[in-house]
Amino acid sequence: MLDDKIEIRSIEYDSDDYKQSRNLRHEVLRKPWGHSITEDNLDHEKNDLLLGAFSDNKLIGFGTLVWHTGDIAQVRYMAIDASWRKSGIGSKILSALEEAARVANKSKMILNSREKAIPFYEKHGYKVTGELIVPPFIPIPHAMMEKELN
Ligand SMILES: CC(C)(COP(=O)(O)OP(=O)(O)OC[C@H]1O[C@@H](n2cnc3c(N)ncnc32)[C@H](O)[C@@H]1OP(=O)(O)O)[C@@H](O)C(=O)NCCC(=O)NCCS
């Protein structure tokens, strides 16, 4: 059961909370594969929606939404602190990103999922739309997924 004290809120680009998001993303998404978040060009995040889950102002979960032209928005950088996984935080962030997309009149969500995370997105109604491909940046298979918003 998710603690009521977990707060989901937006994060301002280049703020102290944003620095926490870079650290969390580094730990969860880059370091295990010998990479660093500093290799990612994150300049576009000035324009993206950045959402964090906080416990006592400590960032424990994160995800972003990239606004594509037309009716599409893309989920990126979903990362939950290892000690908080499978307690509903990823679901809360994903649902909040979807709601923001709806409010912005987007009708389709897309994302590129790591193979291990595919069941998580399937539970939220996403469908795999492409083959598993190992991208150049991280040596694990990823597949494109999408969901129509209603
Ligand atoms: C994938 C991730 C974002 C999911 O967040 P989370 O907070 O752990 O997920 P939730 O607790 O909201 O899980 C929701 C449901 O999905 C399931 N689920 C979550 N991760 C899963 C996984 N890796 N495999 C299978 N099922 C999973 C949960 O068991 C839960 O199912 P239930 O509703 O039947 O109980 C998180 O585990 C994570 O950060 N993983 C490492 C980084 C990563 O892979 N990021 C995604 C990059 S595309």
Confidence band of 3 (pLDDT split at 50, 70, 90) = low
Whether residue 114 lies inside any domain: the answer is no
Whether residue 130 lies inside any domain: the answer is no
Whether residue 145 lies inside any domain: the answer is no
Cβ–ligand 1 contact at 52 (below 6 Å): no
Q: Structural domain tally of the chain?
A: 1
Pocket test for ligand 1, best of 86, 111, 123, 146 (most atoms within 8 A of CB): 86
Whether residue 43 lies inside any domain: the answer is yes
Is the pTM above the cut of 0.75? yes
Predicted pLDDT at 2: 62
Instruction: Assign residue 47 the CATH number of its domain.
Output: 3.40.630.30
Rg (CA), the chain: 15
Instruction: Output the CA 49–ligand 1 centroid distance in Å.
Output: 21
Is residue 118 a contact partner of residue 128, using CB atoms and an 8 Å limit? yes
β pairing state of 108-114 and 72-80: parallel
Q: 71-124: per-residue pLDDT in tens?
A: 999 999 999 999 999 999 999 999 999 999 999 999 999 999 999 999 999 999
Predicted pLDDT at 150: 84
| pLDDT score of 1 more than 70 | no
Which residues form the domain of 52?
Answer: 7-106
Q: 28-78: per-residue pLDDT in tens?
A: 999 999 999 999 999 999 999 999 999 999 999 999 999 999 999 999 999
Pocket test for ligand 1, best of 64, 85, 146 (most atoms within 8 A of CB): 85
Cβ neighbours for 105, distance < 8 A, ≥ 6 positions apart = 71
